[in-house]
Chains A and B, each alone.
Chain A
Amino acid sequence: MTSSVERSFSDRLLSVPRPKAGELVLTEELGPGGKRIVMVVSLLSLLIVAYSIYWMYGRLGEPTRLYPKGQYEPSLWAPFKQGTTWKFLWQGAKLTLAAAGVGTVFAMIIGVLMASLRHGGQTRKRSYALALLAGSIALVIAAGVLTSARIAALVAVACLIIGLVFFSRQSAAAYTEFFRACALVTLIASPFRFLQVSPFWSVVLGLTLYYSTTIAEVIRSALRSLPKGQTEAGLAVGLTNKQTMTTVLLPQGLKRALPNILTQTASLLKDTSLGFVVTFRDLLTQSQGAAKQFDNYFPMLLVCAALYITLIGFINFTATRLQRRSR
């Protein structure tokens, strides 16, 4: 017992926490050779990081052509002492949060629907599905040429719904593959340009279309990772396909997919900044507007980055808490 008390500093630093019962351990406890290697590598990387910070700190203080007194000039940071600056940024942050919040809810709803349909929906003859697809595209183009972009969009939505009802699996796959391949900026800009949608709803629409596909794929892969026996047991008890999906597969699949869904949500929140293409006044746009006025681009960006990190950290924190409580 005495040996465990008199452990060296490096031993204590490198000790692996004892795994709890039933916990999967991928790291073995290190032997003496391994400990030496980890110690040396850790010290080296610590030195590198410390020197990088030191170098950056010095570099930012150096005068440049545009900022002869460097970035630590107090006048560059003075705006942050004024409440109005923060109020201005907060207006942007509110819109960022609102667009991200609404976008996440919509993307989740559509994502779950598409994943379920693509995983367990009915599938029919390929040729019929392709015929419907070709017909839909022709119809949408015709509507666009003959009438207005708005009517074409409505026709497209109607075709998608018909497709989802009669060719669930193929239509969900087509939706997912198509919008996942679209550039997010295009999806945000199109409603604004062609359908005269407001900046806020253009951003929400673009984010929803794009992130519903990535969320759908994340959930679908979680569903595929479930043992086949779960589906069979559900069906054998007499549940319909739909009931098996909603009561057996989705609850387990969503739980497995949650970490990846969170990644997508964080990414979605950051991508609200693409709203600048439709004059959406989100956090980043606001901060750049302020920076232009105060001529303090670097401090403003730094503060902005901190705000984004805080927002995403807050989301992750809440989600982890929720997940732990639901267990």
Chain B
Amino acid sequence: MTDFVSTSEALVQICGVNKWFGQNHVLTDVDLDVNRGEVVVVIGPSGSGKSTLCRCINRLETIQSGSITIDGVPLPSEGKDLARLRADVGMVFQSFNLFAHKTILENVTLGPIKVRKVSKADATEQAMGLLERVGIAAKAAQYPAELSGGQQQRAAIARALAMKPKVMLFDEPTSALDPEMVNEVLDVMLELANEGMTMVVVTHEMGFARKAAKRVAFMDGGQLVEVASPENFFSAPKTDRARAFLSKILPH
């Protein structure tokens, strides 16, 4: 894969973001910068707005105030510009969302061919390389429904990587998986993180947060409560809310 240049400049800038679903204030004044090559893991209780924040970054959800910029460019609001920006932002969903009517290979080549206008032969070659990397090259000709959840999620990661994204968003990528399949997906993500990919990961996997995260962002009630390195956050959380959350999920 291409080398990800590691500088400390912010790639994703989230500034004073507010979002409402009707009367429900789901994001309150959220500020967060994600630097190039950095892995930020967002954790927090259900309904804390972490998934929403993740989906706002490629504008699958709109925000009512504040700004989000990616690589210095504010999120376009519609049309071709927005599509172009989304092409640079890889997204992995909780429920995989592979295109059900296309084979695994076609799932991976669709974006490069339709968006990047890569030739079919080149796209196929690149896709096979990626599928090899996530360990499901043998499944290339099969349809998503024929694969296990873990394999589908790895295919979804390959699909996102095929666009050569600047940043990858993971929206609870292991929450819909059977326990024995969680690790195969986390391993792929860990490998990606080690290669220097910029990543925003919403997850309940604290082990992954410890191992891969440069910083942990803790959200509660739509607010970004605490941002710290994983060592500091897990051993000495500064806020009461983070302490309460950790006491519920960490083994004694």
Which one of A236, A238, A247, A248 lies within 8 Å of B60 (CB-CB)? A236
| A239 contact from B58, B88, B93, B114, Cβ within 8 A | B114
| Given A232-B60, A247-B110, A238-B97 contact (CB < 8 Å) | no
How many residues of chain B are within 8 Å of chain A by beta carbon? 28
B97-A229 in contact (CB<8A): yes
A237-B86 in contact (CB<8A): yes
Task: Knowing A237-B115, A243-B114 are in contact, say whether A232-B87 is a contact too (CB < 8 A).
Answer: no
Do residues B101 and A252 form an inter-chain contact, with CB atoms below 8 A? yes
Interface residue? B99 (CB, 8 A): yes
- Are the CB atoms of B60 and A252 closer together than 8 Å? no
Which B residues lie within 8 Å of A247 (CB)? 110, 114
- Docked CA distance A233–B163 (Å): 13
Report how many residues on chain A are interfacial, defined by Cβ distance under 8 Å: 18
Q: Does B248 contact A (CB under 8 A)?
A: no
Give CA–CA (A232, B97) in the complex, Å. Answer: 8
- Asked whether any CB of chain A lies closer than 8 Å to the CB of B100, the reply is yes
Q: How many angstroms between the C-alpha atoms of A238 and B60 in the bound complex? A: 12
A139 CB-CB contact with B under 8 Å: no
* B34, chain A: closest CB distance, angstroms: 17
Within 8 A of A (CB), among B80-104: 80, 83-84, 86-91, 93, 95-101
With a CB–CB cut-off of 8 A, which chain A residues contact B60? 232, 235-236
**Cβ-defined contact, B111 with A229, below 8 A:** no
Q: Which of A234, A235, A238 contacts B99 (CB 8 A)?
A: A234
CA distance in complex: A230, B87 (Å): 16
B166 at the interface (CB under 8 A from A): no
Is A251 part of the binding interface, using a Cβ–Cβ cutoff of 8 Å?
Answer: yes
CB of A255 closer than 8 Å to a CB of B: yes
A247-B95 Cα distance, complex, nearest whole Å: 20
- The residue in chain A whose Cβ has the minimal distance to the Cβ of B55 is A232
Cα distance A255–B143 in the bound complex, in angstroms: 16
Which one, A227, A229, A238, A255, contacts B86 given CB within 8 A? A238
Assess whether A238 is in contact with B101, with CB atoms less than 8 Å apart: no
Asked whether any CB of chain B lies closer than 8 Å to the CB of A240, the reply is yes
Q: Is B36 an interface residue (CB 8 A)?
A: no
A245 vs chain B, min Cβ distance (A): 12
Known A229-B95, A237-B163, A238-B115; contact A251-B101, beta-carbon cutoff 8 A: yes
B154 close to chain A: CB less than 8 A: no
CA distance A236 to B114 in the complex (A): 13
Shortest B156–chain A CB gap in Å is 8
Q: How far is the CA of A251 from the CA of B106 in the complex (A)?
A: 14
Give bound CA distance, A123 to B93, whole Å: 27
Contact indicator B101/A255 (Cβ below 8 Å): yes
A3–B159 Cα gap in the complex (Å)?
54
B84 touches A233 (CB 8 A): no
Q: A229-B93, A233-B93 are in contact. Are A239 and B101 (CB under 8 A)?
A: no
Once bound together, how far apart are the Cα atoms of A240 and B96, in whole Å? Answer: 20
**B91 / chain A contacts, CB cutoff of 8 Å:** 232-233, 236
Convert A163-204 into 0s and 1s, putting 1 for each residue whose CB lies closer than 8 angstroms to a CB of B: 000000000000000000000000000000000000000000
Q: Is the CB of A227 within 8 A of B83?
A: no
Given known A-B contacts A232-B60, A247-B114, A252-B100, A238 and B95 have beta carbons under 8 A apart: no
The residues of B that contact A238 with a CB separation of less than 8 Å are 83-84, 86-88, 111, 115, 163
The reply to whether A236 and B58 form a contact with Cβ atoms under 8 Å apart is yes
Residues of A with C-beta under 8 A to B111: 237-239
B101 contacts A233, C-beta separation under 8 Å: no
Cα of A238 to Cα of B160 in the assembled complex, Å: 10
- Complex Cα distance, B163 from A234, in Å, reads 12
**B100 with A235: CB separation less than 8 A:** no
Q: Which of A232, A237, A247 has the most CB of B within 10 A?
A: A237
Decide: A239 near B97, CB < 8 A? Known: A232-B60, A247-B110.
Answer: no
In-complex Cβ contact of B97 among A227, A243, A251, A255 (8 A)? A227
Q: A230-B99, A247-B110, A251-B101 are in contact. Are A235 and B93 (CB under 8 A)?
A: no
Can you list 25 A-B contacts with CB-CB less than 8 angstroms, sorted by A residue number?
A229-B96, A229-B97, A230-B97, A230-B100, A232-B97, A233-B93, A233-B98, A233-B99, A234-B99, A235-B83, A235-B86, A236-B58, A236-B60, A236-B86, A236-B89, A236-B90, A237-B111, A237-B163, A238-B88, A239-B110, A247-B110, A247-B114, A248-B99, A251-B101, A255-B101
Residues of B within 8 A of A (CB): 58, 60, 79-80, 83-84, 86-91, 93, 95-101, 110-111, 114-115, 156, 159-160, 163
Q: A227-B95, A234-B99, A240-B80 are in contact. List 18 more A-B contacts (CB 8 A).
A: A227-B97, A229-B95, A232-B60, A232-B97, A233-B91, A237-B111, A237-B163, A238-B83, A238-B84, A238-B86, A238-B88, A239-B115, A240-B79, A243-B83, A243-B115, A247-B114, A251-B101, A252-B101
Which chain A residues have a beta carbon within 8 Å of chain B's beta carbons? 227, 229-230, 232-240, 243, 247-248, 251-252, 255
Closest 10 A-B residue pairs measured CB to CB?
A238-B87, A229-B97, A233-B97, A236-B91, A237-B111, A238-B115, A240-B83, A238-B86, A252-B101, A251-B101
